[in-house]
Structure 1
Amino acid sequence: MKRISRYTVVSMVGLSSAFAETETKSSVKFSPYVGETYPQNVYWGDTHLHTRLSLDAGMFGNTLGVDEAYRFAKGEEITSATGIAVRLARPLDWLVVTDHTDLMGFAPDFQAGEEHILADKKGKEWYEGYKKGGEAAATAAFDLITNFSQETLPPALLKAYSPGSKEFAAVWKEIVDGAEAHNDPGKFTAFIGFEWTSVPKGFNLHRNVILRDNGDKAMQVVPPTTQKPMGSTDPLHLYKWLEEYEKKTGGKALSLAHNGNLSNGWMFPTEDTYSGGKVDENYVKLRAKWEPQYEITQIKGDGESHPYLSPDDPFADYENWDVGNLDLTQLKKPEMLKGEYAREALKQGLLLERKLGTNPYKFGFGGATDSHTSLATGDEDNFFGKSASAEPSKTRVSHPFVESKLGKFAGHTLVASGYTGIWAEENTREALFDALVRKETYGTTGPRMKVRFFGGWDFTEKDLFSPQAARAGYMRGVPMGGDLKAGSGKAPTFMISAVRDAQSANLDRVQVIKGWLDKDDKLHEKVYDVAVSDGRKIENGSCKTPVGNTVDVETATWQNTIGAPELGAVWSDPDFDATEPAFYYVRVLEIPTPRWVLYDKVRLGAELPKEAKLVDQERAYTSPIWYNPK
């Protein structure tokens, strides 16, 4: 044993000396991963969640606060406001609590029946409805929301819960402190944020604001509001606040709009803004600077496109809310749709860039819940609704979200949606925020499928099937959210991979949606099927054969016996014109699965309206990649 040991030592020393003579440490190149800094992980979260601190959430009966919202997002089991045990199937990686800034502090005092609220005629009327519960509470809440949107709130109550009041300041501190307490860099990110709730005439112009910074900077400012005389519903007012925030604190902030489908054409203006201003160079530059993201899907309807705008897209009719504005004080007219949906906005952005030099609608995509229950539940089989009044019950499918003399948003049309996937280097405020700014994000209607999308000029299937496909994507192209620089005139190639959520359904197909602007200032769009499951054929860019449907409506189950666990493609644009600006994004469709109403029927015995949709195909939308010939 001694001889073997001695021989081994001597041999190793000799080898080490010989190696040192031929190579130095600095010249050895073996590990292919040294120096790699590109994002290798996707982190899942919700950019839009309300607690009991929000005006409407509190009036609807939500009693859960900021702390419960974060604990739930981290995977903890809690009890909902209506007394139901609830837990996520998997924890989220990050969360933004976005309570409304207008009347900040009102909801907790309202629930407590504070004397100064009951002293007001309207305040007392709302409180009495709230105490009765059920439909009376819902009626009271929507009456308050209508007064808010029409700017007819009682002046005394408005003053008591505006910036400068102790109530307003206390709630802002509670929001900031909650995020600071739950932020755990590398494990869970709690962003400081809020919702700026512009809703002139009931037309939805809401924006969520996300700060990159810690509480020391957040507490140097007071969030902006929309109610006069201190606030304004003009987005330029918000952009000014964002500018002042960064100048004062040295921090970073961004905003994102949501639910253009409820704006009656005001979300994406092309000529005049709703406030009488012009879509001019100043407007497009400010909007492009401060809004790098758009919430493309959530509880109040999917916002990608609409059959009226995309008549040749058979999948455009997905969870559309097109009855009217947010409070249904005005019905929808077809011509309004142009200013409401993401795909059309991307197209109009190309035209505005040609006219004004800047594309104001060059945004990335994300999904969110906009839940007002403190519960970020985006899955069909675990859907807790928009508000406490829409938490699981036998009758919730029959309760409209909003109802007026003009129409209603039926309860069964609420959408169990969605989440945002962020490709980032690590799970920290800084890394995730920076990825949001560069638009390396995608939104889903709930499933956590893993999607990669790169654009370049020379990708091949060899790159796609390489175990280091992402490296090729970053080295020789740009990821989702990026810009393709003009090449030699040849068509760009796009490398796409999609892997199903391990706890969800197989994939039906992967599509590329293209929009472009021709030399005559005419806008176009086209949907290309680029990968499909089950051996179906793609002819002239389209697969006409449906994937099938395995859903058993008696048991609310399905089988992954159709579809594919993953799909990928390297695709080159067959209609490319190097002189035409364009954008491309990917849409991934799952096979059909049950909607939440079917789970309500099977689990709770709910009686569903005949028009309730039981089955649908969930999906993901990647941020676009843009091509500009200049």
Structure 2
Amino acid sequence: MMSAALIVAAPAMAQFKPSMESLEGLYKGATYSPYAERHFPTQVFWGETHLHTALSPDAGLFGNTLGLDEAWRFARGEEVVSATGLPVKLARPLDFMALTDHSDMMGFATDLRAGAPAITDTEQGRGWYEAMQQGGEAAANAALDLITNFSQGTLDPKLVEAYSPGSAAYDTVWADVIDAAERYNEPGRFTAFIAYEWTSLVKGNNLHRNVILRDSARRAEQVVPMVTQPPLGSTDPLDLYQWLEDYESKTGGTALAIAHNGNLSNGLMFPVDAQYTGREIDETYVMARNKWEPLYEVTQIKGDGETHPKLSPDDPFADYETWDAGNLDLTEAKTDAMLATEYAREALKNGLMLEEKLGTNPYKFGMIGSTDSHTSLATADEDNYFGKATSAEPSATRAFHPFTETELGVFPGWSLSASGYTGVWATENTREAIFDAMARKEVYGTTGPRIGVRFFGGWDYTDDDLRSRAPAVTGYSKGVPMGGDLRPATSDAPTFMLYALRDPLGANLDRAQIVKGWMDADGTLNEKVYDVAWSGDREPDANGMVPEVGNTVDIEAANYTNTIGASELMTVWTDPEFDPAQKAFYYARVIEIPTPRWVLFDKLRLGAELPEDAVLVGQERAYTSPIWYNPS
């Protein structure tokens, strides 16, 4: 029962309305509530920017029968049945997705299975159809032969014409792609982007890009995708940039491209002297790439693309999910000379050099993660891994099935990665807000876990700024977020505020690092990795590196315990070696404690035997977009 005193006091309390003046000095924001009148992004949305359905030739030809609807339903959190008959569901729905079927020969695989006359009326197509009907090894060989002919440009011209933009078959499939994205796009709940993959494959060297449209069907249906097969297509990225320019001019829409993980490009992804075409890297190239490719896919199923141990020998975490046997189809072996122009960290450094030389940094990209799965299933969790293709869906023997194997080398089946996802800091879950965040590079990639990361750069952050559960308020007011450029200097050295929170369903955090790259006055490019926050009471060694965190993985149970590591890490770090005359970039890398890789779950659930050389344990991670410093 309420007392008389409280009854009397209630009217007076209800009449009190604090003025802005009465709040002065109590809260530095606009109102008492720290959540009112905010205009900066307050939420991280999780998504997939690289997924294929049965409409992609190299998905449908290898047994994927799941189409657009299954892919969208799965990403939104529904349970579906995989092409191999297994029920599958995400642990948590995604917030957004770009479905990126290959633009070349889109829909060909589904028509091949159906024996469409446009295919069986050609000798090449009839042979593949008959082999597909036989199934087994004959079907597999036919699929490989078809893809080889595609990559070598030796497809029957009639087949190319029948499945090129402008043909009835192709345009119908593109219309279906647009319609499906429109049906599953639900602003505020789930964002479905209209997108495709432009599949430039130069003699087996991977130069793929994913094209994402900000727009709805009204604009997307005015165009058809860019392809690579002649006579309509091209494998030159400059021609893709022209397509993007033409798209925006014609429709009034907005688009961007995301470069594919470059580790299978054999040095072609980040050229510094000349393109594979022989054209010199000039002002036209650097300006176009800077404009149209704000993001880079740093991690995915086919390995990790941040750096390589030969490029970063002083980085003990550089050798992670490394694929370095050769190009995509292993028709050309990898050489050490190729590494410097296919990994993200080296590209970021080379971008500083090219900016000095040509006035624009072509490799000023943010970093994201995606799967590149060809199963229609956007799975990136180690305990829910459905492989690159249907042949790599869960089975007791899939760890032994190589992704590619030739006399030059092998990509072992066990080496496929359960990776990755993209975290986007946006104001709301809509096409416009998420696309705009990607365009300004306020994004980061993870190898699967949904680690929360905030990374800001400025000149006067202090440890006091961490004494809040809302660090972004100070982060934005004093500096710039990931993907930004440092404001003009107000102190002797930049400061960075880094906050990381473990995935609520995942592992504790081992450490948070800041990776710096810079260019000396004489043009020498440098890098250094700083451990800036870590769990426990470990002490850095003489080189500033923190010892290993330990390992709680139970191999037999495919389990780990969060008895080591930390649930959150935060720090304000000042660059101790800053030179105001040197161009530089900084990005954060957040690393979890060791956890089981997907192969251990196969052993536990399927009784799978594992190859002796299989890696059983890994340390998953997040990579933020960089923050750049330019003296001028």
Q: TM-score, normalised by structure 2?
A: 0.95
Q: 1:527 aligns with which of 513, 529, 542?
A: 529
**Would the alpha carbon gap of residues 24 and 470 (structure 1) be closer, same or farther in structure 2, given more than 3 Å must change?**
closer
Q: Tell me: CA distance 1:26–1:476, structure 2 relative to 1, closer, same or farther (3 Å).
A: closer
Out of 462, 470, 473, the residue aligned to residue 472 of structure 2 is: 470
Q: Compute the displacement of 1:559 (Å).
A: 0.8
Q: Is contact 2:460-2:491 (8 Å) kept?
A: no
Say if 2:260 is the partner of 1:229. no
Alignment of 1:66-85 (within 5 A): 66-85=68-87
Task: Give me the whole-angstrom Cα distance separating, in 2, the residues matched to 1:104 and 1:114.
Answer: 14
- Cα separation, partners in 2 of 1:166 and 1:572, compared to 1, 3 Å: same
- Report percent identity of matched pairs: 63
The aligned counterpart of 2:387 is: 385
Against the structure 1 CA distance between its residues 534 and 217, is the aligned structure 2 distance closer, same or farther, given a 3 Å change threshold?
same
Structure 1 residue 139 and structure 2 residue 129: aligned? Answer: no
Give 1:215's aligned residue: 217
Structure 1 counterpart SS, 2:340: helix
Please list, as runs of the form range in 1=range in 2, the aligned pairs for 1:552-567 lying within 5 A after superposition: 552-567=554-569
- Of 332, 342, 347, which aligns to 2:344? 342
Counterpart Cα distance in 2 of 1:76 and 1:60:
24
Opposite residue 243 of structure 1, the aligned amino acid is E
Query: Within 2, Cα distance between the matches of 1:258 and 1:29?
Result: 44
One-letter amino acid of the structure 2 residue matched with residue 496 of structure 1: L
Aligned to 2:27: none
5+ long unaligned stretches in structure 1: none
Which sits farther off after the overlay, 302-311 or 542-551?
Answer: 542-551
Cα deviation code 1:559-608 (max 9, x no counterpart):
11111111111111111101001000011111111111111111111121
Using the alignment, how far apart are the partners of 2:428 and 2:104 within structure 1?
Answer: 34
The answer to whether residue 507 in structure 2 is matched with residue 502 in structure 1 is: no
Distance 1:40 1:221 in 2: 35
* Cα distance in structure 1, aligned partners of 2:544 and 2:137: 48
Q: CA deviation at 1:112?
A: 1.0
| Deviation per residue, 1:101-128 (Å, 9 max, x gap) | 1012211101212233233333233334
Q: Work out the CA distance in 2 between the residues paired with 1:621 and 1:137.
A: 40
Secondary structure class of the residue paired with 1:452? strand
The answer to whether the Cα contact below 8 Å between 2:59 and 2:375 also exists between their aligned partners in 1 is yes
Aligned position for 2:581: 579
2:192 counterpart letter in structure 1: A
Residues 1:375 and 2:358 aligned together? no
CA displacement, residues 84-111 of structure 1 (integer Å, 9 cap, x when unaligned): 0000000000010000110122111012
Q: Is the 8 A contact 1:213 1:429 kept in 2?
A: yes
Q: Aligned partner of 1:266: which letter?
A: L
1:438 maps to 2:448? no
Asked whether the equivalents of residues 482 and 625 of structure 1 are also in contact (C-alpha less than 8 Å), the reply is: yes
Instruction: Tell me, yes or no, if the aligned pair for 2:459 and 2:490 is still in contact at 8 Å.
Output: no
Asked if the contact 1:454–1:477 (Cα under 8 Å) also holds between the matched residues in 2, the reply is: yes
Cα distance in 1 for residues equivalent to 2:340 and 2:292:
22
Measure how far apart 1:524 and its partner are. Answer: 0.2
User: Partners of 1:510 and 1:571 in 2: how far apart?
Assistant: 11
Q: For residue 367 of structure 2, what is the aligned residue in structure 1?
A: 365
Task: Give how far 1:132 is off.
Answer: 3.9
Residues 593-626 of structure 1: per-residue CA shift (max 9 Å, x gap) = 1111111111111121111111111110000000
1:161 aligns to 2:157 (yes or no) = no
How far apart, in 1, do the equivalents of 2:576 and 2:227 lie?
Answer: 48
Instruction: Tell me the distance in 1 between the aligned counterparts of 2:463 and 2:22.
Output: 36
- CA deviations on 1:24-74 (whole Å, 9 max, x unpaired) are 999995444432110110000000000011111110111111111111011
Tell me what 1:623 maps to. 625
User: What is the SS of the residue equivalent to 1:549?
Assistant: coil
TM-aligned CA deviation for residue 145 of structure 1: 1.7
- Give the secondary-structure state (helix, strand or coil) at the position aligned to 2:602: helix
- Counterpart among 311, 314, 317 of residue 315 in structure 1: 317
Amino acid at match of 1:321: W
1:210-609 equivalence runs, <5 A: 210-488=212-490, 490-539=492-541, 542-609=544-611
Partner of 1:96: 98
Select which of 111, 115, 129 maps to 2:113.
111
* Contact 2:458–2:495 under 8 Å retained in 1: yes
* Aligned counterparts of 1:241 and 1:189: Cα–Cα separation in 2: 24
Q: Equivalent residue of 2:170, what SS?
A: helix
Matched residue SS, 2:206: coil
Using a 3 Å threshold, how does the CA distance of structure 1 residues 626 and 503 change in structure 2: closer, same or farther? same
* Contact kept? 2:531, 2:546, Cα under 8 Å: no
**2:44 alignment partner in structure 1:** 42
Alpha-carbon distance in structure 2 between the residues aligned to 1:14 and 1:288: 57
Paired residue type of 1:627:
Y
Counterpart contact for 2:479–2:487, Cα < 8 Å: no
The alpha-carbon deviation at position 358 of structure 1 amounts to: 0.2
Q: In the alignment, is the contact (CA less than 8 A) between 2:332 and 2:408 conserved in 1?
A: yes
* Structure 2 Cα separation of the partners of residues 100 and 126 of structure 1: 20
Q: Is the 8 A contact 2:195 2:211 kept in 1?
A: yes
Is the contact between residue 378 and residue 418 of structure 1 (CA under 8 Å) also seen in structure 2?
yes
User: What is the distance in 2 between the residues matched to 1:615 and 1:76?
Assistant: 30
Greater shift in the superposed pair: 415-424 or 479-488: 479-488
Moved more, 137-146 or 429-438: 137-146
Shift in CA distance, 583/65, structure 1 to aligned 2, threshold 3 Å? same
2:494, 2:32 → 1: CA distance?
Answer: 33
- Contact 2:205 2:327 survives alignment (8 Å): yes
Q: Structure 1 CA distance, aligned partners of 2:368 and 2:230?
A: 31
User: Which structure 2 segments of 5+ residues have no match?
Assistant: 25-29
1:138 offset after TM fit, Å? 3.2
Counterpart-to-counterpart distance in 1, 2:86 and 2:544:
45
State how far apart, in whole Å, the 1-side matches of 2:31 and 2:260 are: 49
Tell me which moved more, 428-437 or 388-397. Answer: 388-397
Q: Measure how far apart 1:139 and its partner are.
A: 2.9
Partner of 1:58: 60
In 1, Cα distance between the equivalents of 2:14 and 2:390? 72
Structure 1 contact 221–245 (Cα < 8 Å) conserved? yes
Give the C-alpha shift of residue 406 in structure 1: 2.2
Secondary structure of the residue aligned to 2:203 is helix
Cα distance in 2, alignment partners of residues 521 and 139 from structure 1: 50
In the superposition, relative to structure 1, how do residues 512 and 116 fare at CA in structure 2: closer, same or farther (>3 Å)?
same
